[in-house]
Amino acid sequence: MSEQTTSEGMYRRLWPSETDKFRDHLLRLDKDSRRMRFAHAVADAFIDDYASRMTDYGSVVYGYVLDGKVRAAAELRRLGDGWGEEAEAAFSVERAFQDHGIGSELMGRVVRAARNRSIRRLYMSCLAENSKMQAIARKHEADLRFEYGEVIGEIVPQTPDYFSIMAEAAEDRMGFMIAVLDLQSRLVRAA
């Protein structure tokens, strides 16, 4: 996984105060990307409601944030009441930012977050035609075994270790500080 910050933007976890940024990102997806993300066409009202539940049930959402806007996101969602052996993952990158390695970078973070929670199977409701998603999966074949079609990724068993847990915690702490600074600057601008 590369450095957390790039000259162009930052990969970090999104916090509950940022559901509006997540919603705006999903609303900016072009028609085809929106259909690929949700596996069918969805209306703006559906996205409003979906985004408002961004962090429900302990979901972990990472964003690629550039100039205060979320341009890509990766979600890790529980399937039951607690974190079990299975979870759902989803990815979205705005059209102008696709094919720059952002989806692959986010996949790395989701796999690490899943592994740190002892998740063994990742379900991704990807359409079979989604060749970009399959290309990303191939890049992570050391970590994931994929059953294509209705894409199901099995995380290659590897016990979370001290370093992967610390890496996620350290990155989250830094991301949280940046999110707070960003919120402060938005409040100052609005005052």
Query: 55 near 75, Cβ under 8 Å?
Result: no
Q: Is 136 in the site for ligand COA (CB under 6 A)?
A: yes
Angle 154-159-165 (CA atoms, 0-180°, nearest 5)? 105
Going from the C-alpha of 161 to that of each of 10, 112, 118, the distances in angstroms are 25, 10, 11
Binding ligand COA by CB under 6 A: which of 48, 49, 85, 99?
99
* CB closer to ligand COA out of 28 and 186: 28
What's the CA gap between 154 and 145, in Å, rounded?
5
Of 94 and 170, which has the nearer Cβ to ligand COA?
Answer: 94
Question: Binding segment for ligand COA among 101-109, 114-122, 153-161, 174-182 (CB under 6 A)?
Answer: 101-109
Q: CA of 35: how far to CAs of 26, 42, 75, in Å? A: 11, 7, 16
> In what helix (H) or strand (E) does residue 73 lie, and over which residues does it extend?
strand 69-78
- C-alpha 173/C-alpha 157 separation (Å) is 27
CA–CA separation, 11 and 31 (whole Å):
25
Single out the segment in contact with ligand COA by CB under 6 A; choices: 30-38, 153-161, 167-175, 181-189. Answer: 30-38
Binding flag, residue 108, ligand COA (CB under 6 A) = no
Nearest residue to ligand COA, using CB?
103
User: Interface with ligand COA includes 132 (CB under 6 A)?
Assistant: yes
Does 152 engage in binding with ligand COA (CB under 6 A)? no
Provide the minimum distance between the beta carbon of 188 and ligand COA in the complex, in angstroms, as a whole number: 32
Based on the shown chain and the rule CB under 6 A, indicate whether residue 135 belongs to the binding site for ligand COA.
Answer: yes
Helix (H) or strand (E) holding 178: helix 162-190
CB closer to ligand COA out of 3 and 81: 3
Residues that bind ligand COA (CB under 6 A): 33, 36-37, 90-93, 98-104, 124, 126, 130-133, 135-136, 139
